[in-house]
Structures are given as C-alpha cells and as structure tokens.
Structure 1
Amino acid sequence: MGGDKENLDLSDLNASLPAAAAALSAEDRAGLVNALKDKLQSLAGQHTDVLEALSPNVRKRVEYLREIQGQHDEIELKFFEERAALEAKYQKLYEPLYTKRYNIVNGVVEVDGGNDEPASENAAEFKDADAKGVPDFWLTAMKTNEVLSEEIQERDEPALKYLKDIKWARIDDPKGFKLDFFFDTNPFFKNSVLTKTYHMVDEDEPILEKAIGTEIEWYPGKNLTQKILKKKPKKGSKNAKPITKTEVCESFFNFFSPPQVPDDDEDIDEDTADELQGQMEHDYDIGTTIRDKIIPHAVSWFTGEAVQAEDFDDMEDDEEDDEDDDEDEEEEEEDEDEDEDDEEEKSKPKKKANRSTFSTSYHRRAGHKEVLINQQIASSSRTVVVHSAT
C-alpha cells in the first residue's frame, strides 16, 4: 500500500481543497497547492497507515469497497450531466418571468388592475408615490441577505440604487458561470454592465480555477473602493500643500477585484496560503449567494419573506442540535450512574468472574476498537481523495 503516497498528484490536491479554493490561474494555483502539499501529504500518510494496520483479509475488503465507490462515482457523473441538462431546460422557462420582473421593477410596464383599495388622501406623503417601477429593488434585496449585507457599505448604496438587473448564465469553455450586473447611467462609473466570471476546474464539486471581474471605469473622485486621506503639512514646512494618501477601503465593488496570488511562489507561506484560501472561499460564497438565492427569489428578499424562511430553517436546525445535546447529557448521566454502580461493586466482596461477564466486556472493548478503526478510515477518505482500485 506504500504506492498510495505516489498517487497524491496535483489533481488529488485540487480535489482535497474545500469548495472555492481557487480564483487562480493554473500557474498561480501551483503556489497555493505547494504551500498546502506538506499538510495533505501527512494526511495521506495517515490514510496509508490505517490501511496498513488492517489484516490482509480486511484490507482486501476495503479495496473492494473502493472499487464499489468507483462504480458509484461513474453513476454520479451521469447524474451531474443529466442535472445540468435539466437545469438548462428550466432556466429557459424562468427567463420570460425574469423579463417580466425586469420590466416591472424598472417601470417599463405598469401592472394592470393595481390595488383595489381606495387611494389614500395622504398618498403624497409616501416618498415613492411618483416613482416609476420599484425603487431600490436590488439594493434592498441584497441588503436583506446576511452574507451580502456585510459587503455593502453605506457609501456603496447611492451607486447600487442604479442597479437595474442581475442575471447569471453557465459558460462552457471553460466550464463555470458568470454574473452580470446591469446599471443605469450613473455618476460613479462608465460601465453599463459589471461582470464576475468563475472558471471551474470541476463544475459539480465545485473547484475553481480562477475568478475574473470587470475593471470598473470610475469617474474622477468617485472610486468607492478607495479612500483619499489628506494630511496637513507640519508647521514651518516649506511645502504648504496638504499631503494626499490613497487607501483601499471596504466596498461591495471589491467583489469585481477577486483575490490574487503573488507572482512569486516563494512569497506564499502556509499562513498566507490559508488566508488566501479563506478570501477565495468567501468570494465564491458571495457569488453563489447571488446566483442561487438573490436572482431566483429577489422579491422575497425585497419583502423580507426569504429571511423569515431562513430563520425558520435555522430554528429547526437549532432544535435538532438541542435534541442531540439532550441525548448527550442523558448518556453522560447514564455513564455516571454506571460508574457509581461500579464503585459499589468494588466495595463488595469479590466473586469469581463468570465466563459470560468476561465475554461481554471483551466484546465491548473489541467492538470499540473496531469502531475507532472504521472512523479513522472514514476520516481519511473524506480528507484525501485516493484513486479507485482497479
């Protein structure tokens, strides 16, 4: 089984990285992979040690299980292919609905019928009484989402008020998807469309190769991703002009400048690699939140209904966690009672242990050991991808 370590090639490393551990070109990603290679090699060593600790008969059974896993993966690949085709079919059915939404939100068409309630005498008090469409629709929808609200700064909001629509589409060469943000003419930047593209190594895992964002053409003094600091010169200084300094600041529009790895691989130590990995996972999380939640359910985020639904799901998860905690506490109490019973038994006169008692305790210990071995195998399998046995 010593050959398994040699099977840990670059593709294994890519498959072992968490979702979205990329946003890099193939060359740049090599630096990140090398920084994590030692850690993964040690995990691969643990996997090999577990297999080598098994008897030949058990090891043979595990190898056969790996062959079954390979057959499972082939079926799963077909599932991914059929799912992509089904998704494409329904995406075409969604498109006319998204067009209707766009027209209503941006005041291109008016809704027939309207509200049956009589017009209020104080209708003029509403800020949007004379507005076309639904003002701040996309800004409000995104701010309602927990992930996106952390990215949107107060200074971003005036620019995001000009956001007319968000669309997404799959791309085939290379595999991946893109997000298009359509803006009305605004005083902040020239672009009418800002695009974020994710190139995927494996679209269904998913593992990213890189992420690319549109370069924003900011108007002078309107760059929301930068902050200009002016420092007064010291008294008596010959240069009486204030010193200006530009600093990068937090902004939603940093989303279009995804994290990049330094050109020199030697500059990437393990801490830097971990930090970059976290940044890229966060960047991907923002992208998939917009794709999977905001675009298909925008009006529910605008009204806040989507938040209530998520809160309900979280409550259910919390209840399940509480039930698990209660079960753990009950088990601990039972263990304490058993310990007390054991102490009482020790204080009694010793009797000769019968065969059934010895047999039960032995099987308990043996079973516990077997569980530990199985857990180690399962843990290693989740961490490091090993080629299926043939």
Structure 2
Amino acid sequence: MATEDETATTMTNEEKIQAEIEKAKDMKISEMKMKLMAKGVLTSNFIEKDEFIRAYAEAMVKDEASGTSSGLKGLKQNDNGDEEGGEEECITEGLPPYIKLRVEKLKDINTEREELTKQYLAERAALEAKFQRLSEPLYERRKEIILGKMDDEIASAGETEESGAGAEGEEMDRGIPMFWACAIQQMPVTQGMVSEKDIKCLGYLEDIKCFNYENGEGFKLEFYFAANDYFENSVLTKSYDVPNLLLADEPILKNVQGCEIEWKGNNSLTHVEVTKQQRGTGKNAGQVRTVTKKVGCDSFFNFFTPPVMPNLETMDEEECIRVETEFDDDYDVAQSFRSHIIPKAIEWFAGDAMEKELEAAMEGMEL
C-alpha cells in the first residue's frame, strides 16, 4: 500500500493545490495569514475568501516543492505531532469508474495547461525585459530635459512658444525644478506621504527607475538624488519579491527590502530629537538632568524602511491584520511608482493623469 509521501509524489501540481484548498476550507482566514507569515509570505488585497484560499494553497504547495518549512511545520501539527484534520477524502473517491477515467483525462489536460502557463510566463518575462530596454532611451531623454541638459537645444529648435528669455537680468531656472516632487504629490496614493519638510529634499530627486527581475518574480525601485544637505546616499532603493507578479492573481509578497538612509547631522526627516528635563529621585532628588531622545515622525522617506514583522509567538489576530494592512499599503505605494508615476510622470506632473483615470473609470475602461 502506497504511503502518503509516495501518493504525494504522484500527484500533479493542481491536485496538490486542490488538496490544500480542501484542508483550508475549515480554517480561519487569520490562521492562514499567520501560517503564510511564518514562512515569510504575505498576501495582499484579497476581496473574496475563495481567492485567498486559492493563493494560500498555491503558496503551501510551492513551499513544499522547494523543500523549505520556515516554521510552518510546527504550525500545521498539533501537540501530538499529528497533522490536523487527518487525511482528506478525495472528492472523486465515490465516482463511478468510467467518470473517474474522464476526470483523469481532464487532469491530463490541466497538466498540459500548466506547462503552457510556464512557457507563457517565460515569454512574458522576456517581453517585459524587451519593453524595459526599449523604454530606457525615452526615460533618459526625459531625465535630460528635467535636469536642464537640453534647454538650449529645445529653445533653438523653437519647441516652446517663449524661447526661454526671461526678464532682463533675471536668472532662469534650468530644466524643470521640483518635477518629481510635484508628480509624487499629484498621485493620490503617495501625496499623503509627503510632509512639508520633505518637499525641499524631494527637489533634489533627479530620476526614478524601476527594474523588473529577469525571472519576472519581482522588481526594484531606484530613486536618484543630487548631492544635498540631508543624506549621503546618491541612490535610495526598495525591492519586492513577488513570485506571481506576472499573473492575474492577487500579489503574494515573499520579501520586501529597503535601504538605510545615511542622514547628515541632525537633518533627518524621519526622526526628530526631543529634549526634556527629568527630576531626579532618591539620592538624586532635587537634581534636574536633560534627556534627549529620537522620536519618529511622518515622512515620505519612511517608505525606504519596510514594515517590520513582529514575533509570531506574541502576535494575536488584531496584530496580524495590522501588519498585513501595513504591507498592503506599502505595496500599493510601490505599484503606484512602478505602474503610474515612472511611466507617466509628465501626466502626473501636469495634472492630466487624474483626469484621464476619472474619464476611463466613467467609461468602464482600464488604463
């Protein structure tokens, strides 16, 4: 008689997923979320429970195939080390033999579809890479205009109604000052992140780039800054590992990595120093000492510090929901840069993008 492990090795990927779905149907969403978190995977923006269960099952099967447990095994077993729920009866067990044969044929077809999906993802990743390469020269020309490197060429070519001549003796700005700061503040998802103190610093932002991973399972954002009085970094980065990035499914975040900002002196925009006086007690009664500590404050630059996963042993359901919300919001910001601000920066700067999105929404179209 075949063991459970031997049976598992003969199952197709879809059969394994369906088996995980059956197990998950009696579980609470919060329990599934915590299991995903235990292996470093967070799900994002699910509307229906069935969608979440499907994504959960796929993650479990992929985790098993990779041979990693990431603490998940301990969560799946009870105190006696037995699997919770026992063996699940296959849904096709009670079907007549002739129908089982037809079901098996459908499974064979589905296996073929899975192979086509793999081919599709590989070809799409290659196409995305080609599109990225073709777009780079356009983005480079955009950067040169923003930084003022093409001012004379544009003026001499008569591409502006006013040739660039200002009032007599007036010094003209080069390029388009505060271009990215304005674009970021026009996008609804990002505008609330920018504090008044951030605006001047964002004026040093020269370019924003997005690089998709070659395997199509994630992307990296890069923010390029001119030399400034705020931090030493010339580039600030944020990376996202998203195994199903090219699929229509809801995103599954596997990992998020930010960068450390090397603030100059007391010019940090994410923390402020608070000084207060403390009166001594006991032997030091009557003495007063000055204590200074750093306190976090709202800033766009907090984006480069990803949400922190708390200790799973002390995390309750409410904490689980809070953490997932933080990761959801963070990913929304990343996608706003990747899919909107970077490719359509001039539309957001000029204020045209929101109007176009509203028109598209009214027409039931997707941009």
Say if 1:88 and 1:19 are closer, same or farther in 2 by CA, change over 3 A.
farther
1:309 aligned counterpart, secondary structure = helix
Residue pair 2:216, 2:246 contacting (<8 A) in 1 also:
no
Higher helix proportion:
1
The reply on whether 1:4 has 2:51 as its aligned counterpart is: no
Q: Distance in 2 between matches of 1:224 and 1:59?
A: 66
The reply on whether 1:279 has 2:326 as its aligned counterpart is: yes
Say if 1:81 and 1:266 are closer, same or farther in 2 by CA, change over 3 A.
same
Structure 2 residue identity aligned to 1:287: A
Task: Find the counterpart in structure 1 of residue 157 from structure 2.
Answer: 113
Uncovered stretches (5+) of structure 2, i.e. residues with no partner: 1-14, 25-31, 47-54, 56-62, 79-83
Deviation of the 1:33 alpha carbon = 9.7
Work out which of the two has the higher radius of gyration on C-alpha atoms and give 1 or 2. Answer: 1
Deviation of the 1:199 alpha carbon = 2.6
Q: Percent identity?
A: 35
Residue pair 2:279, 2:286 contacting (<8 A) in 1 also:
no
Task: Find the counterpart in structure 1 of residue 120 from structure 2.
Answer: 79
> Alignment partner for residue 273 of structure 2, among 201, 207, 228?
228
> Alignment partner for residue 252 of structure 2, among 183, 197, 207?
207
Count of paired positions: 303
Q: Distance in 1 between matches of 2:42 and 2:231?
A: 40
Task: Find the counterpart in structure 1 of residue 293 from structure 2.
Answer: 245
Task: Find the counterpart in structure 2 of residue 187 from structure 1.
Answer: 229
Greater Cα offset, 214-223 or 280-289: 280-289
| TM-score where L is the length of structure 2 | 0.67
Structure 2 residue identity aligned to 1:200: V
Structure 1 residue identity aligned to 2:118: L
Q: Distance in 1 between matches of 2:73 and 2:176?
A: 47
Highest RCO, 1 vs 2 (Cα 8 Å, sep ≥ 6): 1
Pairing of 1:1-390 with structure 2 (within 5 A): 4=19, 17-18=43-44, 30=70, 51=91, 60=100, 65=106, 67-110=108-151, 111=154, 112-114=156-158, 117=161, 124=167, 130-172=172-214, 175-205=217-247, 206-233=251-278, 238-262=286-310, 264-317=311-364
Task: Find the counterpart in structure 1 of residue 9 from structure 2.
Answer: none
2:141 aligned counterpart, secondary structure = helix
Uncovered stretches (5+) of structure 1, i.e. residues with no partner: 39-43, 319-390
Structure 1 residue identity aligned to 2:269: L
1:222 aligned counterpart, secondary structure = coil
1:181 aligned counterpart, secondary structure = strand
Structure 2 residue identity aligned to 1:104: I
1:245 aligned counterpart, secondary structure = strand
2:213 aligned counterpart, secondary structure = strand
Structure 1 residue identity aligned to 2:135: Y
Greater Cα offset, 309-318 or 282-291: 309-318
Residue pair 2:280, 2:287 contacting (<8 A) in 1 also:
no
| TM-score where L is the length of structure 1 | 0.64
Say if 1:297 and 1:6 are closer, same or farther in 2 by CA, change over 3 A.
closer
Residue pair 1:190, 1:218 contacting (<8 A) in 2 also:
yes
The root-mean-square deviation of aligned C-alpha atoms, in Å, is 4.5
Deviation of the 1:64 alpha carbon = 5.7
Q: Distance in 2 between matches of 1:246 and 1:194?
A: 22
Say if 1:6 and 1:157 are closer, same or farther in 2 by CA, change over 3 A.
closer
2:330 aligned counterpart, secondary structure = helix
CA deviation digits over 1:8-51, x for unaligned, max 9? 699x9689944799xxxx9x99469987999xxxxx98xx7994
Q: Distance in 2 between matches of 1:66 and 1:88?
A: 33
Say if 1:239 and 1:297 are closer, same or farther in 2 by CA, change over 3 A.
farther
Q: Distance in 2 between matches of 1:117 and 1:174?
A: 44
